């Protein structure tokens, strides 16, 4: 099937795919910093006008969510699968 | 009533009642036809108030069609087509009947102009949807179904009490309009309680992942769409601008995300993300501005499609492989590539990527929060969006279709893309997710208020792309931490699950203790003169009392087993059928006279 071959092809060239992704991420930040591309007139707060603010928000938010949730889970929330069985 | 008004729920109930009488050859056609007819009826209904019925001393209104009820009914009847197509090959009339009765209940609630009619259909939903869980016919599903019914019965009672109090306070006026949210009284709190339980607002939410994780593969597709969104409709109708809903909504949005990190079962993970997504809608209702209500309605519309799509994707994996846990799956892209693509479209839609449906709906609520100068609402809901992409867009596809291959040999052998009807249902939902995201007027024109909002500004696109793509970076950085573990997470269903166990313990242990004490008495009172008497008494105890106790015990157990067996067997179907017929007759009677 073509779809599978495409995915396999991308996996074989994983290094290149990752490099392209890095390039894309950098491009997004750069575009965000250019006022004639991204018009920040409609930003709701001052802090959003810092270039790449939402990139930091996304990355830090993601890490905080994972770490906090895992910490919460280890407080005794995560249990064996047969916890409710008798 | 002078002129006859055909309620779409009546069509569905009649369709459900006729279904088991049809020969096999035409059954599939009927399954496709009825929801399409219902959708056509809903889509072409003129606005106004119809179907008012005098019943005892009350006036019941079954057909209030306005912008708000129309858009909800539109998407729900559309989802009924997709959901039925998805389960087309399910050879179990009971499930189709239950699903249609359930949809009929939803549509009935949405068109109800007064609280009594609303309550009637509200209960119809609870009592029909539970069969979609029981139809899985596993002990776990049986238990989850009973808990689901228990919780919904209690909330139904609260709702009914509130409705009665409202009627008394208003001299018998039961009309369902916006309540005075700035001066809440007991009756309003009771009604609100009934509504927010169905919307799965913490701490009244634990029934949702419990039930939706145990439903049948196609039953959960229906479950994911109707109960919570009907509740969102009821909240938007009754409680716009109720400030406490903002706080509750934001808590919901984040609560679902936290539990999704810990979850190992993909359908339970999706269920937790229903809680999270409905949180946006509840917060939108709480904000109550025109833009926020528009956002709530738009998001409910988009949500029904993409969440249905996600449940169809994970349901396909469950249907084909028999597994739904990440620790039993992995690497399936080679076997189920199309299911992967469709699920990914659902994941991108729920994550609100540009060109997908969530992008044009979710952002309206967040923007309404910012415009109302509630910055914390905007930022915290954005944080929840990060979590949404993290799980539904990344964790689910990664650990099912890529990642470590945990499949057992049998799982791997069985895995393949599902049959044409399931693929078609997913394809239609995928198309609609993208269509809504690309062509905004389609959805925006249906919203209750005029829309002065353009999601496709350069800033909004840049903001979203940065937010989501860097969430992706975080995901791959912490991939090790996200490895699924074979665990379950304790949630607030713990108290009532444990209460059942405590009752069982109480019933068993003290009785045992008395029996032991009795035996002890014989031994310590072992005086020679009393020996003979004691012997007689002991024999009596052993033969007669124990015999009776054990016999009764055994009988009760046998009875329980038989009832349990019945509930899992044909009794369920008979009950569903009987219930659907009764409901159809009642509605027919009320509308015809």
pLDDT band, residue B548 (cuts 50/70/90): low
Give the pLDDT score at B583. Answer: 67
Dihedral over alpha carbons B86, B90, B92, B95 (to 10 degrees): -20
* Torsional sign, CA B397, B403, B409, B413: positive
Give the pLDDT score at B56. Answer: 80
State which H helix or E strand residue B180 sits in: none
Chain A residue with the nearest C-alpha to that of B472? A59
For B7, phi then psi, to 5°, come to -75, 130
pLDDT value at B86 more than 90: yes
Mean of all residue pLDDT scores within chain A = 91
pLDDT band, residue B84 (cuts 50/70/90): very high
Give the pLDDT score at A35. Answer: 85
Tell me what the mean pLDDT of segment A55-76 comes to: 94
Angle at B252 between CA B197 and CA B262, to 5 degrees: 110
pLDDT band, residue B593 (cuts 50/70/90): very low
Structure tokens at B159: 């709702």
Buried b (16+ CB within 10 A) or exposed e, B389-425: bbbbbbbbbbbbbebeebbeeebbeebebbeebbbeb
Structure tokens at B20: 């088991």
Query: Which of B14-28, B181-195, B540-554 bottoms out in mean pLDDT, i.e. has the lowest?
Result: B540-554
Query: How many residues can be counted in chain B?
Result: 593
Q: Is B489 on the interface with A (CB under 8 A)?
A: yes
The gap from C-alpha B44 to its chain's centroid, in whole angstroms, comes to: 27
From the list B60, B66, B50, B62, the residue with the least C-alpha distance to B3 is: B50
Paired residues of A80 in beta bridges: B487
pLDDT value at B3 more than 90: no
Give the pLDDT score at B569. Answer: 47
Dihedral over alpha carbons B392, B390, B198, B281 (to 10 degrees): -110
Structure tokens at A30: 């750069």
pLDDT > 70 in chain B, percent:
88
Which long-range contacts link B148-154 to residues 24+ away (Cβ below 8 Å)?
B148/B207, B148/B210, B148/B211, B150/B496, B151/B197, B151/B204, B151/B207, B151/B496, B152/B126, B152/B197, B152/B198, B152/B207, B153/B126
Chain A residue with the nearest C-alpha to that of B474? A59
Tell me what the mean pLDDT of segment B422-451 comes to: 96
pLDDT band, residue B434 (cuts 50/70/90): very high
pLDDT > 90 in chain B, percent:
77
Domain-by-domain residue ranges, chain B?
1-239+577-593, 243-492, 496-524
With helix as H, strand as E and coil as C, how does B402-424 read?
Answer: CCCCCCCHHHHHHCCCCCHHHHH
pLDDT value at B510 more than 80: no
pLDDT band, residue B525 (cuts 50/70/90): low
Point out the residue among A55, A78, A83 whose CB comes nearest to the CB of B466: A55
Q: Is A81 on the interface with B (CB under 8 A)?
A: yes
Domain-by-domain residue ranges, chain A?
1-38, 43-78
Give the pLDDT score at B2. Answer: 44
Model confidence pLDDT, tens digit, residues B301-345? 999 999 999 999 999 999 999 999 999 999 999 999 999 999 999
Smallest Cα distance from A52 to chain B, Å: 7
pLDDT > 90 in chain A, percent:
59
**Which of B565 and B315 is assigned the larger pLDDT?**
B315
Tell me what the mean pLDDT of segment B135-144 comes to: 93
**Which of B583 and B94 is assigned the larger pLDDT?**
B94
In B322-439, alpha helices (H): 337-350, 357-371, 375-388, 396-401, 409-414, 420-438
Model confidence pLDDT, tens digit, residues A7-40? 999 999 999 999 999 999 999 999 998 888 888 8
How many Å apart are CA A58 and CA B467, to the nearest integer? 4
How many Å apart are CA B552 and CA B558, to the nearest integer? 10
Structure tokens at B527: 């005086």
Dihedral over alpha carbons A60, A65, A66, A71 (to 10 degrees): 120
Q: Is B449 on the interface with A (CB under 8 A)?
A: no
Residues of A in contact with B497 (CB under 8 A): 84
pLDDT band, residue B560 (cuts 50/70/90): low
Give the pLDDT score at B562. Answer: 56
Smallest Cα distance from A34 to chain B, Å: 11
Q: Is A25 on the interface with B (CB under 8 A)?
A: yes
The gap from C-alpha B430 to its chain's centroid, in whole angstroms, comes to: 21
Highest-scoring range by mean pLDDT, B4-8, B53-57, B543-547, B577-581: B4-8
From the list B10, B150, B9, B121, the residue with the least C-alpha distance to B60 is: B121
Paired residues of B265 in beta bridges: B325
Model confidence pLDDT, tens digit, residues B170-195? 988 899 999 999 999 999 999 999 99
Q: Are the Cβ atoms of B383 and A65 closer than 8 angstroms?
A: yes
Tell me what the mean pLDDT of segment B46-59 comes to: 88
Q: Is B507 on the interface with A (CB under 8 A)?
A: no
Query: Which of B170-174, B243-247, B446-450 bottoms out in mean pLDDT, i.e. has the lowest?
Result: B170-174
Query: Which of B110-124, B504-518, B533-547 bottoms out in mean pLDDT, i.e. has the lowest?
Result: B533-547
SS3 B451: coil
Model confidence pLDDT, tens digit, residues B252-299? 999 999 999 999 999 999 999 999 999 999 999 999 999 999 999 999
pLDDT band, residue A53 (cuts 50/70/90): very high
ipTM of the complex: 0.94
Structure tokens at B323: 């597994």
Give the pLDDT score at A49. Answer: 87
Report cis status (omega within 30 of 0) of the bond before B203.
yes
């Amino acid at each position: 099937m073509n779809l599978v071959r495409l995915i396999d092809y991308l996996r074989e060239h994983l290094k290149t795919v990752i490099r392209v992704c890095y390039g894309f991420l950098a491009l997004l930040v750069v575009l965000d910093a250019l006022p004639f591309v991204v018009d920040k007139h409609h930003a709701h707060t001052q802090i959003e006008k810092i270039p790449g603010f939402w990139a930091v928000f996304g990355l830090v938010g993601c890490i905080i969510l994972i770490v906090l949730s895992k910490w919460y889970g280890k407080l005794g929330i995560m249990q064996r699968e047969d916890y409710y069985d008798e | 009533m002078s002129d006859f008004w055909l309620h779409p729920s009546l069509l569905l109930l009649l369709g459900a009642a006729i279904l088991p009488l049809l020969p096999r050859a035409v059954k599939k056609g009927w399954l496709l036809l009825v929801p399409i007819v219902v959708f056509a009826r809903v889509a072409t209904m003129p606005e106004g108030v119809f179907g008012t019925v005098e019943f005892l001393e009350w006036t019941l209104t079954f057909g209030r069609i306005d912008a708000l009820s129309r858009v909800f009914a539109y998407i729900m009847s559309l989802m009924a087509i997709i959901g039925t197509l998805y389960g087309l090959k399910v050879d179990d009339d009971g499930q189709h009947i239950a699903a249609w009765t359930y949809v009929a209940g939803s549509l009935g609630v949405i068109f109800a102009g007064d609280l009594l009619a609303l309550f009637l259909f509200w209960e119809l939903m609870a009592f029909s949807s539970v069969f979609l869980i029981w139809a899985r016919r596993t002990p776990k599903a049986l238990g989850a179904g009973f808990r689901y019914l228990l919780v919904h019965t209690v909330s139904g009672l609260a709702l009914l009490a509130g409705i009665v109090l409202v009627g008394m306070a208003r001299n018998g006026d039961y009309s369902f309009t916006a309540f005075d949210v700035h001066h809440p009284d007991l009756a309003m709190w009771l009604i609100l309680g009934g509504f927010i339980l169905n919307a799965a607002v913490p701490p009244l939410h634990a029934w949702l992942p419990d039930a939706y994780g145990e439903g049948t593969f196609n039953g959960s597709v229906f479950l994911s769409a109707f109960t919570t969104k009907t509740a969102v409709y009821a909240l938007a109708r009754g409680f716009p601008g109720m400030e406490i809903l903002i706080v509750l909504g934001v808590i919901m949005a984040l609560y679902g995300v936290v539990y999704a990190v810990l979850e190992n079962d993909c359908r339970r993970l999706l269920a937790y993300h229903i809680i999270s997504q409905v949180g946006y809608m509840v917060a939108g209702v709480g904000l109550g501005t025109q833009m926020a209500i528009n956002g709530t309605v738009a998001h409910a519309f988009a949500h029904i499609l993409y969440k249905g799509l996600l449940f169809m994707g994970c349901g396909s994996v469950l249907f084909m492989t028999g597994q739904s846990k990440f620790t039993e799956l992995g690497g399936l892209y080679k076997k189920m590539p199309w299911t992967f693509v469709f699920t990914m479209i659902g994941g991108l839609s729920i994550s609100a990527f540009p060109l997908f449906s969530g992008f044009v709906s979710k952002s309206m609520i967040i923007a309404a929060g910012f415009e109302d100068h509630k910055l914390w609402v905007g930022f915290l809901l954005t944080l929840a969006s990060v979590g949404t992409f993290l799980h539904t867009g990344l964790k689910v596809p990664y650990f099912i279709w890529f990642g470590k291959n945990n499949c057992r040999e049998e799982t791997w052998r069985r895995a393949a893309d599902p049959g044409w009807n399931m693929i078609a249902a997913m394809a239609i939902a995928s198309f609609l997710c993208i269509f809504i995201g690309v062509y905004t007027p389609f959805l925006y024109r249906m919203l209750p208020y005029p829309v002065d909002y353009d999601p496709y500004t350069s800033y909004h696109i840049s903001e979203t792309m940065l937010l989501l793509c860097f969430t992706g970076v975080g995901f791959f950085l912490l991939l090790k931490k996200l490895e699924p573990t074979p665990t379950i997470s304790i949630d607030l269903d713990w108290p009532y699950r444990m209460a059942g166990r405590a009752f069982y313990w109480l019933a068993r242990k003290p009785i045992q203790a008395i029996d032991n004490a009795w035996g002890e008495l014989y031994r310590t009172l072992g005086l020679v003169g009393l020996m003979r008497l004691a012997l007689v008494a002991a024999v009596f105890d052993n033969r007669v009392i124990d015999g009776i106790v054990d016999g009764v015990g055994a009988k009760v157990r046998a009875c329980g087993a038989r009832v349990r067996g019945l509930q899992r067997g044909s009794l369920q179907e008979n009950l569903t059928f009987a219930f659907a017929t009764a409901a159809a007759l009642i509605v027919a009677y009320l509308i015809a006279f």
